[in-house]
């Protein structure tokens, strides 16, 4: 095991330069959840257009794995159909469980999270943002009304 199994350049880049880390004024849905293990908290906001996720942003603080995963998540699902975003969320979860071999084209930067599979206790960190996205989109914890498909 080596450190760069988990802390790949891509992860450190998203951690140090997070994408879409901001409030989303007028968001259709916003959802906040935390990881009780470490107290990390992530808020995901999204708005929709014609059944697509138009914009997805996140806020919060946490370890490099939870923050980079959130950053990559916002990039990879922004503009996608809600169904496709949910399918990707399921695949990311599958990759982290060691059950899905990622399709590099579909996954893009997300492939960098694959190394987390070797560190079971960190999987929760990587999954957090995806859990919040799913909950936001399915209406759980929505403050801005139900998602408009």
Partner 1 sequence: MNDNGAPSDVPRDVPRDVPRDVIHVERIRKDFPILERVINGHPLVYLDSAATSQKPRQVIDAVSDFYANHNANAHRGIYTLGEEATEAFEGVRAKLAGFFGSPDPRTIVFTRGTTESMNLVAQGWGRKFLREGDEVLLTDMEHHSNIVPWQLVAQATGAVLRYIPLTDDGILELTDLEGLLTERTKVLAITGQSNVLGTLPPVKELAAAAHSVGAIVLVDGAQLVPHNPVDVVDLDVDFLTISGHKMLGPTASGGLYGRRELLDAMDPFLGGGEMISEVFPDRSTYKDPPHKFEAGTMNIAQEIGLGAAIDYLESIGMGAVREHEKQLTAYALERLQEAGAVVHGPKDLDIRGGTVSFWFKDVHPHDLAQVLDQEGVCVRASHHCAQILMRHLGVPATTRASFYVYNTMEDVDALVGALARAESVFV
* Chain contacts with partner 1 (rule: CB under 8 A): 1-3, 6-7, 12, 15, 37-41, 61-65, 119, 122, 125
β partners of residue 33: 42
Cβ proximity to partner 1, 42 vs 46, nearer residue: 42
Matching residue, tokens 């995806």 = 130
Write down the least CB distance from residue 13 to partner 1, Å.
12
Q: In degrees, to the nearest 5, what angle opens at C-alpha 144 toward C-alphas 148 and 77?
A: 55
Among 86, 89, 87, 84, CA closest to 72: 89
- Cα 6 to Cα 112: distance, rounded to the nearest angstrom: 8
Write down the least CB distance from residue 55 to partner 1, Å.
27
Cβ proximity to partner 1, 63 vs 117, nearer residue: 63
CB contact set of 12 (below 8 Å; sequence gap of 6+): 64, 68
Cβ proximity to partner 1, 3 vs 50, nearer residue: 3
Cβ proximity to partner 1, 25 vs 39, nearer residue: 39
Among 129, 92, 126, 131, CA closest to 111: 92
């Amino acid at each position: 095991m080596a450190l760069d199994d988990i802390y790949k350049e891509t992860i450190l880049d998203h951690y140090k330069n997070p994408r879409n880390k901001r409030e989303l004024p007028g968001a259709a849905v916003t959802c906040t959840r935390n990881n009780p293990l470490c107290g990390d908290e992530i808020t995901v906001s999204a708005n929709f257009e014609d059944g697509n996720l138009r914009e997805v942003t996140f806020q919060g603080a946490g370890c490099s794995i939870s923050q980079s995963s959130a950053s990559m998540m916002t990039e990879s699902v922004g503009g996608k159909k809600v169904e496709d975003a949910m399918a990707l969320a399921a695949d990311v979860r599958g990759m982290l469980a060691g059950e899905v071999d990622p399709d590099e084209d579909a996954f893009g930067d997300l492939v960098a999270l694959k190394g987390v599979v070797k560190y079971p206790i960190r999987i929760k960190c990587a999954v957090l943002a995806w859990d919040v996205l799913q909950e936001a989109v399915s209406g759980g914890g929505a403050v801005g009304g139900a998602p408009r498909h």
